[in-house]
Amino acid sequence: MLQRISLTQFLIGEQRAGRVSADLRLLLEVVARAVKAISVTISKGALAGVLGEAGTENVQGEAQKKLDVIANEILLQANEWGGHLAAMASEEVENVCQIPFDYPKGGYLLLFDPLDGSSNIDVNVTVGTIFSVLKNPAKKDADPVEADFLQPGREQVAAGYAAYGPSTQLVLTVGKGTHAFTLDREMGFFVLTHPYMTVPDETREYAINASNERYWEAPVQRYISELRQGKEGPRGADFNMRWIASMVADVHRVLTRGGIFMYPLDEKTRAKGGKLRLMYEANPMAMLIEQAGGAATTGRQRILDVQPQKLHQRVPVILGSRAEVERVTSYHNV
């Protein structure tokens, strides 16, 4: 019989190899359980009455979908009692989420975007959960404050996302490669299906919201215009474009078959610093992409080296196949 490696087995292997502590293993198992619960809820869709607006706004002033609120609750409740976390932070919550005082605290900080791409949820397109794990630098018994979270992405001890698509996949790194696990719904656990994913160096596929073209900076205008000129242009090759408007789905495609994903700085988002959030979108995706041999920059700096100033900070994101990311970055640096 085909030997199947479950997420649990994989994590025990990582623990034995000294890359994962017992608490981090528990943390990742709990996140995987929460992701299963979110997957089940999402897949019921209209039957469970979970689609549509929640009628509330989050800290970013964005209208929340019912599923944004449900996914956030599932992640918070699953993770608060295990004793592995010092605190959490969520896209949907303004301040640090403390562990209730009647539960023990651990040494890790968990950050997440509970339901990324939720504008796609009502049209039944792939959405996801993105998460990042840091060590808590503060004393164990003190309640962590925002400053404890403000560590550059290179300090992440684990990062991952779940993609809720035709199948549910959990993509994970603990600092040695990027691995994808597929949820076996009948058995109820994740199975390692894509060990050591690699982003090909070269690509002929790009992802950007082209409706923002008139707001882009000159380096991005130049790069995309060269791609669009295809065989007749300076690149001498045709490029294909894809934009799902679900970062998880777009990055998953890049991880699976290569490509470049861009949400660059533009005049629309300049005042906010960019569109995507540094700490629970850009950083975990950058770690996953780098661990798969790709690159991730803001256009001007490696994402994992950005020193965060605040929890909900936004940054420009350019990630994927190394040669293409380096080219766009070099256009910014001329």
Binding residues for ligand AHM, per CB under 6 A? 62, 113, 116-119, 209, 245-247, 263
322-332 and 218-228 helices cross at what angle (nearest 10)?
Answer: 140
Q: Which of 117/284 has CB closer to ligand AHM? A: 117
DSSP H helices, 242-305, are 247-257, 283-291
Closest CA to 200 of 36, 325, 115: 325
Q: What is the closest distance, in whole angstroms, from the C-beta atom of residue 293 to ligand AHM in the complex?
A: 22
The distance of closest approach from Cβ of residue 38 to ligand AHM in the complex, given in angstroms and rounded to an integer, is 14
Nearer to ligand AHM, 192 or 255 (CB): 255
Which does residue 144 touch among ligand AHM, Mg ion, none (CB within 5 to 8 A, set by kind)?
none
> Could you give the C-alpha distances from 194 to 74, 143, 258, in angstroms and in order?
26, 38, 15
Q: Which of the choices ligand AHM, Mg ion, none does residue 114 contact, using the CB cut-off of 5 to 8 A by kind?
A: none
Q: Which does 324 bind (CB under 5 to 8 A by kind): Mg ion, ligand AHM, none?
A: none
**Pair 262, 208: CB distance under 8 Å:** yes
In degrees, rounded to 5, the angle at the alpha carbon of residue 187 between the alpha carbons of residues 281 and 50 is 50
Task: Give the C-alpha separation, 240 to 31, whole Å.
Answer: 35
Binding at 106: pick from ligand AHM, Mg ion, none (beta carbon under 5-8 Å per type): none
Shortest separation between residue 191's beta carbon and Mg ion, angstroms: 26
Task: Indicate the residue whose CB is closest to Mg ion.
Answer: 116
118 interface partner picked from Mg ion, ligand AHM, none, CB below 5 to 8 A per type: ligand AHM
Q: Which is nearer to ligand AHM, 7 or 279 (CB)?
A: 279
CB distance 298 to 265 below 8 Å: yes
Complete DSSP assignment for 51-100: -SEEEEE-TTSPEEEHHHHHHHHHHHHHHSSSS-EEEEEETT-SS-EEPP
The total of other beta-carbon atoms located within 10 Å of residue 1's CB is 3
Nearer to Mg ion among residue 168 and residue 203 (C-beta): 168
Q: Are 28 and 20 in contact (CB under 8 A)?
A: yes
Q: Which is nearer to ligand AHM, 11 or 70 (CB)?
A: 70
Q: Which is nearer to Mg ion, 28 or 276 (CB)?
A: 276
Residue 169 contact among ligand AHM, Mg ion, none, beta carbon within 5 to 8 Å by kind: none
Query: To the nearest whole angstrom, how small is the minimum distance from the Cβ of residue 70 to ligand AHM?
Result: 15
